[in-house]
């Protein structure tokens, strides 16, 4: 059984005449790392909110079709039970953080789950150690940097030990180093700890190759769904803004495959140069530059 099953889902926000999600059908299996890409307003956050049970409960509006988690319709699930299974990290950690101290913030979600004190303290300690937050354990949340706030938001969700992480542009407020830090952590959570990850991201160059699967959204619908390489290959001609820059660079060239990382691009370039070198050498007056990297 898939973890999530969405069937013909259409959703309108209150008082909106245009559907934010249009006839979406998809399945997500346990352990997958799904990257959700697409333009602004294409429905990425709305889809994430459906999976985390916030739409329609929290946002209201009209919904058609069905979204289920482990065979149970999400709408009818007990909120606490769903929060134990599906954790959501929002784009802006400022909006997620409600407590004044780091430790209290991590404990906050656990209190809401109704866990007893001993379990709570243990979970807080575990997540602080796992996420390397020891040094900021007693710091005021208001004094944290953007990267630390995002890490804290993720820590608070992890403390609830969900099975699924839904991340809505978790690096959008961060500098490149903190962004890399968060993305590496998410990758580890998926690969080493088995979390199912559904991540919306704009920085495709940093995470496209990390995903098992890419969902490309357009105007509330799924325009393309497949492995990262498949989606890159299919979309490279039409909408190159949703493939990594290195793939875009090779888009117009007649190369046998689409590279997803700089490393792959370099390898491809090297093999292409090897192929054309003899031809260049046969041309009088042309001396190809050596390419050693």
Q: Report in angstroms how near the CB of residue 45 gets to Mg ion at its nearest.
A: 3
Contacts of Mg ion in 81-120 (CB under 5 A): none
Closest to 290 in 3D by CA, of 271, 267, 273 = 273
Angle formed at CA 188 by CA 209 and CA 152, multiple of 5 degrees: 110
For ligand ADP, the binding residue among 7, 8, 25, 41 (CB under 6 A) is 41
Closest to 83 in 3D by CA, of 160, 155, 159 = 160
What gap in Å lies between CA 186 and CA 188, rounded to an integer? 5
- By the rule CB under 5 A, 45 interacts with Mg ion: yes
Q: Which stretch binds Mg ion (CB under 5 A): 4-12, 41-49, 93-101, 226-234?
A: 41-49
- By the rule CB under 6 A, 56 interacts with ligand ADP: no
Q: Report in angstroms how near the CB of residue 3 gets to Mg ion at its nearest.
A: 22
Alpha helices in 87-235 (DSSP H): 93-96, 102-113, 117-130, 146-159, 176-191, 204-207, 228-235
CB 33 within 8 A of CB 212: yes
- By the rule CB under 5 A, 42 interacts with Mg ion: no
Token pair for 8: 């013909």
In terms of CB distance, is 42 or 235 closer to ligand ADP? 42
- By the rule CB under 6 A, 249 interacts with ligand ADP: no
CB 45 within 8 A of CB 168: yes
Q: How many residues bind ligand ADP (CB under 6 A)?
A: 12
Residue 199 interacts with, from Mg ion, ligand ADP, none (CB under 5-8 Å by kind): none
What gap in Å lies between CA 285 and CA 163, rounded to an integer? 63
What gap in Å lies between CA 24 and CA 266, rounded to an integer? 37
Token pair for 113: 């789950």
Q: Report in angstroms how near the CB of residue 228 gets to ligand ADP at its nearest.
A: 19
For ligand ADP, the binding residue among 5, 32, 42, 232 (CB under 6 A) is 42
Q: Report in angstroms how near the CB of residue 173 gets to ligand ADP at its nearest.
A: 15
For ligand ADP, the binding residue among 3, 33, 43, 147 (CB under 6 A) is 43
Binding mask 11-30 vs ligand ADP (x if CB under 6 A, - otherwise)? --x--x---x----------
Q: Report in angstroms how near the CB of residue 172 gets to Mg ion at its nearest.
A: 9
Mapped onto helix, strand or coil, the DSSP state of residue 66 is: strand
Binding region for ligand ADP (CB under 6 A): 13, 16, 20, 38, 40-46, 59
Binding region for Mg ion (CB under 5 A): 45
């Amino acid at each position: 059984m898939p973890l999530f099953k969405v069937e013909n889902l259409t959703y309108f926000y209150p008082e909106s005449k245009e559907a934010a999600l249009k006839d979406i059908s998809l399945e997500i299996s346990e352990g997958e790392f799904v990257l959700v890409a697409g333009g602004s307003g294409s429905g990425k956050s709305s889809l994430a909110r459906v999976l985390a049970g916030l739409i329609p409960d929290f946002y209201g509006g009209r919904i058609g079709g069905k979204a289920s988690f482990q065979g149970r319709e999400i709408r009818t699930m007990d909120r606490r039970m769903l929060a134990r299974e599906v954790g959501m990290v929002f784009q802006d950690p400022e909006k997620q953080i409600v407590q004044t101290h780091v430790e209290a913030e991590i404990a906050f979600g656990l209190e809401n789950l109704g866990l007893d004190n001993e379990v709570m303290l243990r979970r807080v300690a575990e997540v602080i150690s796992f996420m390397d937050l020891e040094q900021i354990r007693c710091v005021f949340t208001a004094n944290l940097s953007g990267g630390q706030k995002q890490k804290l938001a993720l820590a608070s969700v992890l403390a609830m030990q969900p099975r699924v992480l839904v991340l809505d542009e978790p690096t959008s407020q961060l500098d490149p180093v903190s962004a890399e830090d968060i993305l590496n952590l998410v990758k580890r959570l998926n690969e080493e700890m088995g979390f199912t990850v559904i991540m919306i991201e704009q920085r495709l160059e940093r995470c496209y190759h990390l995903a098992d699967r890419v969902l490309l959204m357009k105007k509330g619908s799924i325009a393309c769904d497949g492995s990262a390489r498949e989606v890159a290959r299919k979309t490279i001609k039409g909408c190159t803004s949703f493939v990594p820059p290195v793939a875009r660079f090779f888009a117009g060239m007649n190369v046998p495959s689409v590279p997803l990382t700089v490393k792959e691009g370099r390898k491809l370039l090297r093999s292409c140069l090897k192929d054309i070198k003899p031809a260049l050498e046969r041309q009088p007056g042309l001396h190809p530059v050596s390419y050693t990297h």
